[in-house]
Amino acid sequence: MLWMKGVFNMSSQKYAATLSVQEMIAKKKRQRKNWSEKIMPVILQLTAIISVLTTLGILFTLLVETFAFFKDVSLKEFITGNTWYPFSEPGQYGIMPLISGTLRITGIAILVAVPIGLAAAIYLSEFASDKVRRVIKPVLEVLAGIPTIVYGFFALTFVTPILQKIIPSLEIFNALSPGIVIGIMIIPTIASLSEDALGSVPIAIREGGLALGATKLEVTLKVVLPAAVSGIVASIVLGISRAIGETMIVSIAGGSTPNLGLDITGSVQTMTAYIVQVAQGDAGYGTTIYYSIYAVGFALFIFTLIMNLLAQWISNRVKEDY
């Protein structure tokens, strides 16, 4: 029973402070200012509220100005009109050419970014050695940090001349070059996020495939890829959203000719590029042109919203839980 005595002694031992540990804890607790416990949640809540309020505020401004725009232009003309020519008298405000420009450029960007980004993600996650991955991943992420204006001039002064050698009819300002460069710009987004999604598929599942005599490629394509699909879809949507919202590259290298159709060799204008053009000072406050940038902005907002909802729906439908 000697050990029990030892335990008993320890519990009542007085330290230099002549108090037991429990007594010291109780004392500290009385001293501790309780205000931080109470005020911190309030501060945290406030920051959350601020972000929500900001979003609502932006939406509100957008709506008010959009509403002002629709006093001058009918909604029907805005949606169904196929000419966007605000600087004529009277101005023509059919948004379809701008949407068409945005879709063409986004489409090209996706065609470039999805295959390359996905292939890079698969390579990094499944085939690259740790050493290679440690080099390539940071490089990819640096690519994501280059200011878009640099990409814009890269498109105009480097990519366009090269493309012109291949396609002689290509104009200086065209949809192809900024489309490709936006694609390059969003490769890191897709590659990096898809790599995370692939990497989070449990190794045990891969082993299950390999143990059945599947090759590494079969396991990658038929087990790992489907398992990671919701993360991959999310990365692609984020990439598309960035492509839709991209402004600088198209403003610099895409030209400023709103037109409807599928032509990618001539000058185009996207929704964002139009907003920049007007914001640069061509229009006075309170004019229809001024209000039109909000209407276009609102259309852009609806556009990305639909994209995001669509992505959620797709990823819920094809998701494979593990």
Partner 1 sequence: MAILVEMRKEELMIEQPEVNKEEVYQTKDLNLWYGDNHALKHINLDIFENEITAIIGPSGCGKSTFIKTLNRMVELVPAVKTSGEIYYRGRNIFDKNYEVEELRTRVGMVFQKPNPFPKSIYDNIAYGPRIHGIKDKKILDEIVEKSLRGAAIWDEVKDRLKENAYGLSGGQQQRLCIARCLAIEPDVILMDEPTSALDPISTLKVEELIQELRKNFSIIIVTHNMQQAARISYKTAFFLNGEVIEYDQTNKIFSTPSDKRTEDYITGRFG
Question: Which residues bind to partner 1, rule: CB under 8 A?
Answer: 202, 204-205, 207-215, 218, 222-223, 226-227, 320-322
Q: Length of the chain in residues, anyone?
A: 322
> CB 322 → partner 1: shortest distance, Å?
4
* CB-nearer residue toward partner 1: 199 or 245: 199
Give the separation between CA 293 and CA 146, rounded to whole angstroms. 27
* CB-nearer residue toward partner 1: 23 or 218: 218
> CB 219 → partner 1: shortest distance, Å?
9
> CB 210 → partner 1: shortest distance, Å?
7
* CB-nearer residue toward partner 1: 124 or 273: 124
What are 120's two structure tokens? Answer: 């890079």
Residue indicated by tokens 């020519």: 85
β-pair partners for 282: none
Q: Which distant-in-sequence residues (6+ apart) come within 8 Å of 145 by Cβ? A: none
> CB 205 → partner 1: shortest distance, Å?
6
* CB-nearer residue toward partner 1: 32 or 134: 134
* CB-nearer residue toward partner 1: 107 or 226: 226
> CB 218 → partner 1: shortest distance, Å?
5
> CB 192 → partner 1: shortest distance, Å?
22
Question: DSSP assignment, residue 124?
Answer: I
Of 235, 248, 245, 255, nearest in space to 300 by CA: 245
Give the separation between CA 43 and CA 116, rounded to whole angstroms. 44
* CB-nearer residue toward partner 1: 134 or 222: 222
Q: Which distant-in-sequence residues (6+ apart) come within 8 Å of 159 by Cβ? A: 177, 180, 181, 253
Q: Count CB-CB contacts under 10 A for residue 189.
A: 23
Is the link from the previous residue into 90 a cis peptide, with omega within 30 of 0? yes
Give the separation between CA 250 and CA 262, rounded to whole angstroms. 16
* CB-nearer residue toward partner 1: 113 or 232: 232
> CB 222 → partner 1: shortest distance, Å?
7
Residue 35's Cβ-count burial label (10 Å; 0-12, 13-18, 19+) is exposed
